[in-house]
């Protein structure tokens, strides 16, 4: 019988019913974009309260579409790390409660590892392992050496802002709305990526860490100069906005492509898989494809619908079931954990 998966790590309430082959029998997702738009970013308290309101209807919708008796589920898999504490807690409490009520086992999922497993779902039956995994999203920018879907070694990640967070903050400065990533990407397509010489922090460092805080600050100085400024009253021409977006996007992509491809070379593998919300960026996908062709490695990027937070990638729970790795009912959330399993 199929697996029920639950995802509430940030601001998307999602559930899916998936069989052992990876086929999605039913799924549902409730987004919170309109709730957070006025704040130009996710507000944790608002996100967790919205999850409370939506979690049971979303689960019910996924089960109804799948036409599955919940008491015959193989297990319930839930993301418990990393993410916003309150958001994760809603999903974990719901999963534990339903596991008790329906008398089915519980499986704990690492949200970042699940993002990479979305690549496996799209590549099947070909395996994306072993290889290098890049998770690039609003909250995370992390590189892993992936021996298997559950055997990942953390290589490095952002030491400050995640790439997606930087996109959102630049969009806020330019008053492009929330979420900022798609808006910046659309405008960047019409701009000159060489118009501004933005920094590529740590791009030549020997490690696999990233830093985007300085880049965000450079954008701020480019459009507003030093000192206090009211961005709502700042007048920026459409051409300048497009050039800023294109130059900023190019700087982020240069860092992501450089570190990821170097990780592939240095670890003796010939595969790179990429997941997370920023992986939907068209220019990033193009640059990675160019690098893969030039350096002769196999690239797998999650399909756009599986880049943003979703419950389908929770199919990684089947891998844990196969290894007998079930969670106890005292399962707790681990909000800040990026390296753990």
Residue 16 has pLDDT above 70, yes or no: yes
Residue 236 has pLDDT above 70, yes or no: yes
Distance from C-alpha of 33 to C-alpha of 245, rounded to nearest angstrom: 22
Phi/psi of residue 310, each to 5°? Answer: -155, 170
Position 313 scores a pLDDT of: 98
Residue 341 has pLDDT above 70, yes or no: no
Which is more confident, 12 or 230?
A: 12
Position 40 scores a pLDDT of: 84
Q: Collapsing DSSP states into helix, strand and coil, what is residue 106?
A: strand
- The second-level CATH assignment, the architecture, of 127-306 is 2-Layer Sandwich (3.30)
User: Structural domain boundaries of the chain?
Assistant: 3-115+308-322, 127-306
- Helix ranges (H only) for 25-75 are 33-36, 44-66
Residue 339 has pLDDT above 60, yes or no: no
Position 41 scores a pLDDT of: 87
Angle CA 115–118–122, to nearest 5: 160
pLDDT above 70 covers what percent of the chain? 99
Tens of pLDDT, residue by residue over 74-94, are: 999 999 999 999 999 999 999
Tens of pLDDT, residue by residue over 271-328, are: 999 999 999 999 999 999 999 999 999 999 999 999 999 999 999 999 999 999 999 9
Residue 270 contacts residue 131 (beta carbons within 8 Å): yes
**Number of residues written out for the chain:** 341
Distance from C-alpha of 32 to C-alpha of 10, rounded to nearest angstrom: 10
CB atoms within 10 A of CB 122: 18
CA atoms within 13 A on the CB side of 130: 10
Q: Collapsing DSSP states into helix, strand and coil, what is residue 141?
A: strand
Two structure tokens written together for 251: 């700087």
Mean pLDDT, residues 136-150 taken together: 96
Tens of pLDDT, residue by residue over 201-216, are: 999 999 999 999 999 9
CATH class, domain 3-115+308-322, is alpha beta
Confidence of residue 338 (pLDDT cuts 50, 70, 90): low
- Of 300, 297, 287, 13, which is closest to residue 133 (Cα–Cα)? 300
Tens of pLDDT, residue by residue over 44-63, are: 999 999 999 999 999 999 99
Domain 3-115+308-322 and domain 127-306 have a common topology: yes
Angle CA 38–41–46, to nearest 5: 75
Position 159 scores a pLDDT of: 95
Residue 171 has pLDDT above 90, yes or no: yes
Q: Collapsing DSSP states into helix, strand and coil, what is residue 94?
A: helix
Distance from C-alpha of 249 to C-alpha of 188, rounded to nearest angstrom: 7
CA distances from 301 to 133, 276, 307, 315, 337 (A): 10, 9, 9, 17, 24
Longest dimension (CA), the chain: 62
Global confidence as pTM: 0.93
Residue 54 contacts residue 13 (beta carbons within 8 Å): yes
| Residue whose token pair is 């996908």 | 285
Position 335 scores a pLDDT of: 87
Position 143 scores a pLDDT of: 98
CA distances from 274 to 113, 299, 300 (A): 11, 8, 6
Tens of pLDDT, residue by residue over 175-200, are: 998 889 999 999 999 999 999 999 99
199 dihedral zone (left: phi>0; alpha: psi -120 to 50; beta): beta
- Helix ranges (H only) for 189-311 are 213-224, 238-266, 282-295
Tens of pLDDT, residue by residue over 99-117, are: 999 999 999 999 999 999 9
């Amino acid at each position: 019988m199929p697996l029920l998966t639950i995802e509430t790590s940030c601001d998307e309430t999602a559930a899916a019913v998936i069989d052992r082959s990876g086929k999605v029998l039913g799924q549902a997702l409730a987004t919170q974009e309109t709730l957070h738009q006025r704040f130009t970013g996710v507000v944790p308290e608002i996100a967790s309260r919205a999850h409370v309101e939506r979690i049971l209807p979303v689960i019910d919708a996924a089960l109804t579409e799948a036409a599955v008796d919940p008491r015959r589920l193989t297990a319930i898999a839930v993301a418990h790390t990393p993410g916003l504490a309150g958001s994760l807690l809603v999903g974990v409490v719901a999963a534990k409660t339903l596991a008790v009520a329906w008398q089915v086992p519980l499986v704990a999922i690492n949200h970042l590892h699940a993002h990479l497993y979305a690549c496996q779902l799209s590549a099947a039956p070909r395996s994306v392992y072993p290889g290098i995994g890049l998770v690039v999203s609003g909250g995370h920018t992390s590189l892993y050496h992936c021996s298997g879907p559950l055997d990942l070694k953390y290589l490095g990640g952002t030491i400050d802002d995640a790439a997606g967070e930087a996109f959102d903050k630049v969009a806020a400065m330019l008053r492009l709305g929330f979420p900022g990533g798609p808006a910046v990407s659309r405008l960047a397509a019409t701009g000159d990526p060489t118009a501004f010489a933005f920094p590529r922090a740590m791009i030549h460092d020997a490690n696999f860490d990233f830093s985007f805080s300085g880049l965000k600050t450079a954008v701020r100085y480019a459009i507003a100069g030093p000192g206090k400024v009211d961005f709502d009253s700042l007048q920026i021409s459409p051409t300048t906005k497009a050039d800023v977006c294109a130059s900023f996007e190019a700087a982020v992509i240069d860092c992501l492509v450089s570190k990821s491809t170097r990780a592939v070379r240095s670890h003796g593998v010939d595969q790179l898989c990429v997941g997370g919300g920023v992986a939907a960026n068209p220019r990033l996908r193009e640059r990675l494809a160019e690098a893969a062709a030039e350096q002769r490695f196999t690239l797998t990027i999650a399909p756009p619908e599986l880049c943003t937070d979703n419950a389908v990638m929770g199919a990684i729970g089947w891998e844990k079931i196969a290894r007998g790795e079930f969670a106890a009912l005292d399962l707790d959330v681990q909000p800040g954990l990026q390296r753990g399993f």
